[in-house]
Structure 1
Amino acid sequence: MAGLVEVTRGVFVATHDFCTSTTTVVAADDGTCLLVDPGISPAELDTLAADLARHGLRVAAGFATHPHWDHVLWARALGDAPRFATAAAVVATAADRERGLALADEFAPGTDHDLYGRLTPLPDGAECVPWSGPRVDVVEHRAHAPGHAALHVVDAHVLITGDMCSDIEIPLLDLDAADPLGDYHHALDLFGAVADVQQVIPGHGHVGDGAELRRRLTADRHYLDEISAGRGDDDPRLTQAWLVRDHRAQRAKISITRTG
């Protein structure tokens, strides 16, 4: 794990070896912080807690962008602050708990089962994270996973996209959804409508600037169009066997849906 790096004033990112995962920290002037998608291994979570302490930061709230196992982790060293997620993500995390814990045990041995997925649903109608720090708007959608949400750190002009807008991963659809392609296009449209984004932070991959966000949105829309046409094998992000496998599964499922 790379230590916390300040990508813009008050926003820090740590990058982990597992799937180039990112943890994001939004700092407030009073020394508290919002901790988004902390990961991945128990040792990294403890190191993260130590890094926060060195920066004089105390976790006031957490946020899980979506219900997949590597985004709902926690450690006792991070404290007992509320960990928010959309209501749909909370339900999905609970429903998939057994499988999620099995994956956590496989890829992050020693995961604290008691703290895994202990999420608090956002209040009904909440448009931003309920904490006392900088305003962080919630952009809820249905792409990739039920209850997925991006976070817009308004004054910092940062968009935290969860498992979307990656420079190293293709769009990964929720193939259990009624309209996987439509859901994904809608989410990309929501991201494109966020004004004045100067930094994009994906859940897996590297931080980019506003121009890079626009490039990734274009690349992702192109990929969706390609698999709709039964193509997409030449996407430059298909560099790992598991991505090729998931790409082929997506293309096949979309093809069946189109012709069914």
Structure 2
Amino acid sequence: MGRQLTQVAPGVWTATAEIWTSLTTLVVADDGACLIVDPGITVAEVESLAAEIHARGWRVEAAFATHPHWDHVLWSAQLGDVPRFATPAAVTAQARSRDADLSKADATAPGHDRDLFGRLTALPDDAVAVPWSGPRALVVDHRAHAPGHAALVLPDSGVLVAGDMLSDVEIPLLDVDAADPAGDYRDGLHRLEAAVTRHALTTVIPGHGHVGGPRELARRFVVDRVYLGALRAGLDAADPRLADPWLGEAHEQQLRAVSPD
């Protein structure tokens, strides 16, 4: 099935996958150069993305994986042999979990080229932006949700590409294997909010869910902090996102990991 591209801001387009309402982001320069962020889930979706890019006369120059989870490190040869950047911590984490992640990909979205899976290039340790020729894509790294997670700030378009945070359909999902999962998530929200304020961002693109404007962006910070506060207190959260059974299970796991008891 094809992936319809929707323009959400000047030079910024998204496509939605069938699984988990996953969002791919394209940053497109005036000359047609593209930066792909988290390119999709199924083989058909990733290949359709490549076909759409080619049909529009664009060309892929680079990619960025917001974090090392398997559904964010997929690729197709049709997208080209380009650097697929991620933070150094994300590259290390993906190498460590590669075998398990390949099994997850094979179970949920079979048929991907295993040689291309997770082939990430670490950003330089002092990098503040993705090295490509198009609009600035500033990197905001943190430890919320996964090791080496990072958002991209697109100041020229007023967009925050948030990775797996600030979702309208998913609760905050913590890295429960970290030493301080809730603290890491709280710090991640703080870093993202500081970037929103500093660059006057007005649009949020989550890894899963729907694009939001300025009021929705502000609301998501509030509801995620409310959820996190309840979690840290060991309380059940009255969050409508928990109606999804798998998120309810994730919440119970997080309660066990974070509860003061």
Question: Which of the residues 223, 227, 231 maps onto 1:223?
Answer: 227
What's 1:202 paired with? 206
SS at match of 1:96: helix
CA distance in 2, matches of 1:109, 1:228: 37
CA distance in 1, matches of 2:55, 2:187: 40
What's 1:249 paired with? 253
Q: CA deviation at 1:252?
A: 1.4
Listed as ranges, the gaps of 5+ residues in structure 2 are: none
Q: CA deviation at 1:2?
A: 4.0
Deviation readout 1:39-65 (Å, 9 max, x if unpaired):
111111110001111222111000000
CA distance in 1, matches of 2:51, 2:181: 40
Asked if 1:214 is matched to 2:218, the reply is yes
Select between 103-112 and 230-239 the one with higher mean Cα deviation.
Answer: 230-239
CA distance in 2, matches of 1:72, 1:118: 8
Q: CA deviation at 1:248?
A: 0.5
CA distance in 1, matches of 2:5, 2:55: 10
Q: CA deviation at 1:174?
A: 0.3
Matched to 1:245, the amino acid is: E
CA distance in 2, matches of 1:2, 1:36: 15
* Residue pair 2:32, 2:59 contacting (<8 A) in 1 also: yes
What's 2:106 paired with? 105
CA distance in 1, matches of 2:38, 2:88: 16
Query: How many residues are matched?
Result: 257
Q: Percent identity?
A: 57
Question: Which of the residues 231, 236, 240 maps onto 1:236?
Answer: 240
SS at match of 2:138: strand
Runs of 4+ with >6 A deviation: none
Deviation readout 1:180-219 (Å, 9 max, x if unpaired):
1111111111111123111100000000012111100010
* Residue pair 2:3, 2:45 contacting (<8 A) in 1 also: no
CA distance in 1, matches of 2:55, 2:234: 51
What's 1:58 paired with? 59
Asked if 1:46 is matched to 2:47, the reply is yes
Select between 2-11 and 201-210 the one with higher mean Cα deviation.
Answer: 2-11
Structural RMSD (CA): 0.9
TM-score, structure 1 as length reference: 0.97
Q: CA deviation at 1:227?
A: 1.1
What's 1:94 paired with? 95
What's 1:32 paired with? 33
SS at match of 1:204: coil
Q: CA deviation at 1:111?
A: 1.3
Deviation readout 1:208-257 (Å, 9 max, x if unpaired):
012111100010000000111222342111122111000001011111xx
What's 2:127 paired with? 126
CA distance in 1, matches of 2:3, 2:131: 29
What's 1:176 paired with? 177
* Residue pair 2:35, 2:64 contacting (<8 A) in 1 also: yes
CA distance in 2, matches of 1:116, 1:57: 23
What's 2:189 paired with? 188
